[in-house]
Structure 1
Amino acid sequence: MYSYEDRIRAVELYIKLGKRTSPTIRQLGYPTKNALKGWYREYQQRLDLPLGYARREPKFSQGQKAAAIEHYLAHDRCIAATMRAQGYPGRGTLTKWVREAFPEARMALVGSVSQRRYPESLKQTGVMELYTRQESAQAVADRLGVCRPTLYNWKNQLLGREAPASMKHNDQSPQARERDELERQVEILRHEVRQLRLEQDLLNKANELLKKGLGVDLQLLSNR
C-alpha cells in the first residue's frame, strides 16, 4: 500500500526529472512504471491525488500467473523446471500460486517427483540416456519432458540407489582400479598356465615317441 505522501513524492520527482520513469523509480525504490504513469495521469486530471492509501500493483499479472501454472502442470508438476523455463517467480510465490489453484492437492510441491505414471519404456530410455549422456542430466530431462528428480528416481527404481548416475568416472575409484589390475594379472596367469600345459603336452608326446624308438627331434615339434 502506498500512502498519499508516497504517491505525491513520486509524482513530483517524476515531473522534476523530466518525466523519466527509470531514474524516478531508481531514486525512490518504488513503484512500478505503470503505477507511476497512472499516478501522474491522475494528478494531471485532478491536480492532486486521492487521500488515503493506494493498493500496490501486483508484481505479476494474471496472465503471467496462469502461464506459470499451465507450464507447471504440463511439465511434470516440477517447481524448479517451471521457474527455470519461465524466468519467474520465486519458489515461494509459485508454490503459493499452485496451492491457491489446487487447494485440494496435498503433495510436496518444491522440487518434488510427481506421482504421475510413466510407461516402462520411457523410464528405460531415460535411464539409458542418463548413463550415456554427453550433456547435463537437466538437458536429458528437458528432452524427455520430465523433471530432473523424476529422471533420477527412475534410475533408483531400475538400478538401485547405490548405482552411479552416469558411466563417466565409474572406474576412477581406487577399488575399481585395483579390481582391474587384479583381473589383468589373472588373465596373464591364465595365459602362462596355458603355455605351460602346452609345453607339458609336447614333452609328454615327445617322450612317448622316444620310447617307441622313433628318434624324434624335439626341435621339430611346434605348438601345432
Structure 2
Amino acid sequence: MLGIRERRNPSPCVARSLQRDLPGEVIADGLHLIERVLPWEAMPATLDGTFAREGDLALADMLFFDTETTGLAGGTGTRAFMIGASDFVPDGLRIRQLMMAHMAAESTMLRTFQSWLTPQTRLVSYNGRCYDAPLLNTRYRLARHASPLPELAHTDLLYPTRRRYRGVWENCKLATIERRALGIVRDDDLPGSEAPAAWLTYLRGGSSHNLKRVLAHNFQDVVTLTRLLMHLAGTDPLATA
C-alpha cells in the first residue's frame, strides 16, 4: 500500500552505529572516570632499579601512565583525550582512566590527573619522556596551569627495554615486548593509530563502540607497564623470557 513502509529491525551494523553510552562515572561535565582494581600477588616494598641505572625503587610511589591522543605529531594541535594510570593499593593493582566526552573537559581532566600525584610520585611510562609527558606539559600550559610533571622522578621503560632486547626481536614496540617477553596476547585490540578516529567519531555524534575499544587498549597498556617493570627488575614469575 502506498504511503506505508514496512518497519524492520535495524541491522547489527546500524545498531552498533547508534551506541552512545560510555562506561564509568561522570565526575564532571564531559569527563568520565573508569576505575577497577585487579587482584595482584603481594609485592615487595622496593624493586631493584639496576636495570634502569637507578637505585631501589619504592613501589608505593610509582604511577604507571599512558595517554591516548589525537595524533602522533605532537605540538599544540595534539591533545590527550584519555589518560590511563595504574598503581598499587592494598587490594591489588588499581587502574584509573580519565576520558573526555567533549573538548571542554580538558582542563578538568588535567586537574584531576594532577590530584593523583604527590611530590614523591615516580612516573613510569613507555616512551613517556619523549611523548606523553611533553604533550601533557603543553596541554597544562595551554590550559594556563603549571604542569606538575617536570618536578617528578620518571622511569621510562623504553630505554632499559632497548638495552636488553635490541637486536633480539624485530623491534622494541610495546606490543612486541609484551607478546615476546611477557606472553601477553591481546584479543580484538584496536591499534593505537585508530584511537584518534574513534574519539573524533564519537564527538561528531557517532558510535561509542570503537571508543570503548580504545579504553580497553589503554587499560591493557598500563597493566603491561606494571608487568614490564616487574620483568625488567627480575620479579615477574609470569614472564616468558
Normalized per residue, the structure richer in helix is: 1
For Structure 1 versus Structure 2, the TM-score category normalised by the shorter chain is under 0.3
Bigger relative contact order, structure 1 or 2 (CA pairs below 8 A, ≥6 apart)? 2
Normalized per residue, which structure has more strand? 2
TM-score (norm 2): 0.21
